[in-house]
């Protein structure tokens, strides 16, 4: 059994049974004795996906394809909207999501095969749309770096979204991509409060480390967009202006924001987390979330899911727009180069008969 008290360095408070399981379980004390459970360790299994490029037709997303080299995310962000995807694998969206991970070890080989197929049409690929490409296991597996090396070789544009300062380990590849206008980096900053960030995103980089990474990327002329994400009314919404000001000073060129989303199991997991760390705010925060979601914990309608609706959501949007104009973060999105894409790697010999 997994204890209800949050294990050190983990985000979810429990390991709630997935919605597809036939049996549910809960912890209880039978009065006999209490035995300390072992520390939860991260395990990694092989993800044998047939294709590594995922497609979407969502009208509120600026990309139609993405790569997620990892399933699950060790960052442990308690609000993560990707958590319910773990239930399809027979695991919990709670602690399982951040401890039982899957990796596409052959992602570089499969990516090369897919983008060099005769039928492939080049458009930006997004990394980090579901789980973070620079979560801690990337340090050893280096799957994200392998992807970037393939994309550089074929001159393929890429958008990267992360809340990890470890992205700077790949600065050499990123700088080369930037020379050809093939990369934009989105850094997510949820809070400047180190205590809140440590509880909310236990294994993600500290706020000051992310801002330092922004400065380092800026020095290498890599365009950076700041994502104030997610905005959680009653918890971090008062920090919007401070986050944007600090980001502009660090070198960001534009900013976006999204409202917290609590799909399926995430709603109860987030409420548990509030009761564990901020019990005096739980009623107010959940009430505010319902107010921006039409009286519900979550709404998944296109466009509405990103920003919410109602007076509170509108007020946040107005504050955000005023702030990005004030701090010079209202530049248009970077138009990455698609025309540079080539079907063969540099130095490869092409035979026109078989091209």
Domain hosting residue 292, numbered range: 43-329
Domain assignment of residue 308, yes or no: yes
Could you tell me if 184 and 159 are in contact, meaning their C-beta atoms sit under 8 angstroms apart? yes
Q: Is the pLDDT of residue 134 over 60?
A: yes
Confidence tier at 348 by pLDDT (50, 70, 90): very low
Per-residue pLDDT at 36: 61
Q: Is the pLDDT of residue 249 over 70?
A: yes
Alpha-carbon distance of 117 to 119, in angstroms, equals 5
Q: State the total domains in the chain.
A: 1
Domain assignment of residue 64, yes or no: yes
Q: Is the pLDDT of residue 204 over 70?
A: yes
Q: Is the pLDDT of residue 149 over 60?
A: yes
Alpha-carbon distance of 205 to 198, in angstroms, equals 9
Q: In the predicted model, what is the mean pLDDT of residues 113-140? A: 97
Confidence tier at 185 by pLDDT (50, 70, 90): very high
Domain assignment of residue 340, yes or no: no
Alpha-carbon distance of 305 to 176, in angstroms, equals 35
User: At how many degrees (to 10) do helices 207-219 and 240-250 cross?
Assistant: 30
Instruction: Kindly report each contact of residues 41-45 with a partner whose C-beta sits within 8 Å and lies 24 or more positions away, as own/partner.
Output: 41/99, 42/74, 42/98, 42/99, 42/101, 42/136, 42/137, 43/99, 43/100, 43/101, 44/101, 44/102, 44/103, 44/137, 44/141, 45/100, 45/101, 45/102, 45/103
Q: Is the pLDDT of residue 352 over 70?
A: no
Per-residue pLDDT at 82: 96
Domain assignment of residue 35, yes or no: no
Q: In the predicted model, what is the mean pLDDT of residues 188-215? A: 97
Domain assignment of residue 260, yes or no: yes
Pairing, β 43-46 against β 65-67: unpaired
Question: 101, 104, 114, 97: which is closest to 69 by C-alpha?
Answer: 104
Return the sign of the alpha-carbon dihedral for residues 345, 62, 57, 93: positive
Per-residue pLDDT at 7: 75
Domain assignment of residue 316, yes or no: yes
Alpha-carbon distance of 322 to 269, in angstroms, equals 33
Confidence tier at 2 by pLDDT (50, 70, 90): very low
Q: Is the pLDDT of residue 347 over 70?
A: no
Q: Which residues contact 129 (CB under 8 A, 6 or more apart)?
A: 61, 63, 66, 68, 161
Q: In the predicted model, what is the mean pLDDT of residues 27-37? A: 60
Domain assignment of residue 27, yes or no: no
Residue 186, domain CATH: 3.20.20.70
Alpha-carbon distance of 241 to 323, in angstroms, equals 6
Domain assignment of residue 23, yes or no: no
For tokens 């060099």, the residue is 116
């Amino acid at each position: 059994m997994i204890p209800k008290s949050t294990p050190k360095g983990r985000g979810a408070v429990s390991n709630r049974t997935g919605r597809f399981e036939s049996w549910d379980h809960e912890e209880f004390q039978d009065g006999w004795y209490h035995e300390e459970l072992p520390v939860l360790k991260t395990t990694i299994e092989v993800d044998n996906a047939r294709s590594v490029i995922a497609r979407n037709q969502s009208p509120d997303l600026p990309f139609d394809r993405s790569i997620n080299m990892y399933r699950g995310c060790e960052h442990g962000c308690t609000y993560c909207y990707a958590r319910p995807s773990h239930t399809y694998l027979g695991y919990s969206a709670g602690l399982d999501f951040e401890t039982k991970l899957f990796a596409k070890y052959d992602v570089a080989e499969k990516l090369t095969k897919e983008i060099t197929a005769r039928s492939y049409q080049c458009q930006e690929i997004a990394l980090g749309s579901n789980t973070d490409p620079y979560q801690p296991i990337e340090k050893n597996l280096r799957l994200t770096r392998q992807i970037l090396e393939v994309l550089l070789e074929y001159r393929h544009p890429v958008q990267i979204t992360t809340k990890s300062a470890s992205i700077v380990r790949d600065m050499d590849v990123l700088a080369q991509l930037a020379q050809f206008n093939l990369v934009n980096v989105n850094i997510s900053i949820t809070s400047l409060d180190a205590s809140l960030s440590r509880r909310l995103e236990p294994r993600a980089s500290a706020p000051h480390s992310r801002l330092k990474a922004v400065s380092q990327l800026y020095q290498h002329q890599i365009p950076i967009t700041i994502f104030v994400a997610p905005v959680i009314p009653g918890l971090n919404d008062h920090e919007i202006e401070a986050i944007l000001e600090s980001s502009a000073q660090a070198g960001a060129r534009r900013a976006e924001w999204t409202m917290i989303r609590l799909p399926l199991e995430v709603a109860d997991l987030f409420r548990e987390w509030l009761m564990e760390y901020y019990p005096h705010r739980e009623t107010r925060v959940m009430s505010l979330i319902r107010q921006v979601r039409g009286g519900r914990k979550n709404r998944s309608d296109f466009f509405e899911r990103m920003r919410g609706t109602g007076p509170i959501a509108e007020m946040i949007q107005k504050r955000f727009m005023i702030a990005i104009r004030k701090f010079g973060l209202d530049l248009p999105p970077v138009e990455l180069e698609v025309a540079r894409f080539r079907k063969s790697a540099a130095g490869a010999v092409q035979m026109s008969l078989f091209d």
